[in-house]
Amino acid sequence: MGIPHLITTLENYASHEILQHQVVVVDGPALAYHILHLCRFQGANQPSYGLLSRLVIEWLDRLEDQQVTIRAIYFDGYLPESKQPIRMERVMKVTSRLNLFYSSNSMACPRKHVVPTNDIYLDANRPGRFTDKTSLDPAFLVPAIIDAIRGSSRYREKCFIIPGEADAYCASDIAKHGGTILTSDSDLLAHDLGNGKVVFFRDIHENASSMLACVVYAPREIYTKIGLSKSVEACRLGYERLRNPNATLPMLLKACSKPIADALDYDHFRQQYVHHESAPVPHLVDGSLLPLSGLDPRVSELLLQIGQAPKAKNAREKAKIFLPSLFDNPTKGTSWDASAHVRTLAYTAACRYLQCRCSMSVEEYRRVQNINQKGREISLLSSDETNIAARELLELLRRNATSKARIHIH
């Protein structure tokens, strides 16, 4: 997301500093895409999950080797209902890119997308721009990064899947405890961070002394420098920037000093910065809280939706899940179709463990062509159907295990 041009509006008032000895909170999804960008800038258009996993740990190691204290790495575990239109727009863009990629390479994938590129190492310089607009992001980019961090004894205790949006949790953490947010999202400049600071991944690089240098944005200090009244909310400048993309800074400050022209529009905008929406974490059948720490973000989001479902038996509810866009032929059915029966069983089991008593179904979104498109509705199984499906799946797994054992023997 982000607020276009807000960074360039304020960059002359930022300071150039050394990252060493600072305490940081990391925006996890932004970190994942930064690592992907580093790979692509060095020639790995379609990096393997192994390469992504190795580089993210190397990147975090570089921070700690220079005495940067990583307090937390936050990942989204839930997207508020109010953000669904934005989610739909993003998935539409992914679908559009898939269509473009396939139409440009209908015979086979380009060599650069299939040749291994695991010999890439972190570049100490600032990455440039990646100009290939047809490349598709790895379907499980963020989960792969999370798994890599969880697999590291050095960082696993600092990795959190939270029942809300990562940027909001980063902002709350910094506002309460101080420190610096590492992110790529200009939205963080519109939060009230107290004495907290923001550093964008793109600005972190090694200087001539082999120290990690960066550009630091301290919103409270910057707003004082530019003369923004203390009575004006931190998000007001971002709002005026969004409404007037071509305005100069003096024009924006003048607008901030006047009464708000559209109070309802401004209140809708500010809610995302002053009210950090999150989902309540539900209890399982044994009374314990749902452990988010070991979940994939999409699974976390689905389970948190199910946990909020009405408890009345006569109520009807739909939960939504956005399945990753796979690299397959967009003119044919998606590869997700083959495992639909397994997911149906999983959705049903999830509702049982979360004590969901209402009539529940799940809407799956795969390829999205327009913002009003409905997902494919998956009806849950009855008790008898669940038992049959579970036995069939277990039998299939048993046969596969036996077959693999025979192959290994021979």
Q: Are residues 198 and 331 in the same domain?
A: no
141-150 helix and 297-307 helix, angle to the nearest 10 degrees: 100
Strand order, beta sheet including 359-365: 316-322, 359-365, 376-379
pLDDT score recorded for residue 116:
66
Please spell the DSSP secondary structure of 286-302, one letter per residue: TSPBP-GGGS-HHHHHH
Q: SS3 of 323, please?
A: coil
For residue 38, what is the domain's CATH number?
3.40.50.1010
Q: Give yes or no: residues 335 and 197 share one domain.
A: no
pLDDT at 117 over 70: no
Same domain, yes or no: 154 and 204: yes
| Position 243 in a domain | yes
b/e map 313-336, b = 16+ CB within 10 Å: eeeebebbbbbbbeeeebeeebeb
* Same domain? 310 vs 377: yes
Averaged confidence pLDDT in the chain: 91
Q: Please, what is the Cα angle at 345 between 341 and 348, to 5 degrees? A: 135
**Is 20 in the same domain as 159?**
yes
pLDDT given for residue 135 in this prediction: 80
Give the 3-state secondary structure percentages of the chain, helix then strand then coil, rounded to 5. Answer: 50, 15, 40
The domain boundary residue, chosen from 273, 305, 327 = 273
Question: Measured between alpha carbons, how far is 401 from 30 in angstroms, rounded to an integer?
Answer: 39
**Total count of domains within the chain:** 2
Say if 287 falls within a structural domain: no
Domain stops at, among 273, 300, 322: 273
The verdict on 138 and 254 lying in the same domain is yes
> Would residue 228 count as lying in a domain?
yes
Q: Is residue 142 part of a domain?
A: yes
Q: Clarify whether residues 44 and 119 are in a common domain.
A: yes
Claim to verify: residue 321 and residue 222 sit in the same structural domain: no
Range of the domain at 318: 292-409
SS (H, E, C) 109-134: CCHHHCCCCCCCCCCCCCCCCCCCCC
Are 139 and 266 contained in the same domain?
A: yes
Asked if residue 313 has pLDDT above 70, the reply is no
CA 140 to chain CA centroid, Å, is 11
Residue 88 domain-assigned?
Answer: yes
Q: List, for residues 175-215, the tens digit of each pLDDT value.
A: 999 999 999 999 999 999 999 999 999 999 999 999 999 99
CB atoms within 10 A of CB 86: 12
Together in a domain, 89 and 155: yes
Considering the domain architecture, whether residues 336 and 370 belong to the same structural domain is answered as yes
Q: Tell me, yes or no, whether 279 lies in a domain.
A: no
* Structure tokens, 237: 């400048």
* Residues written for the chain: 410
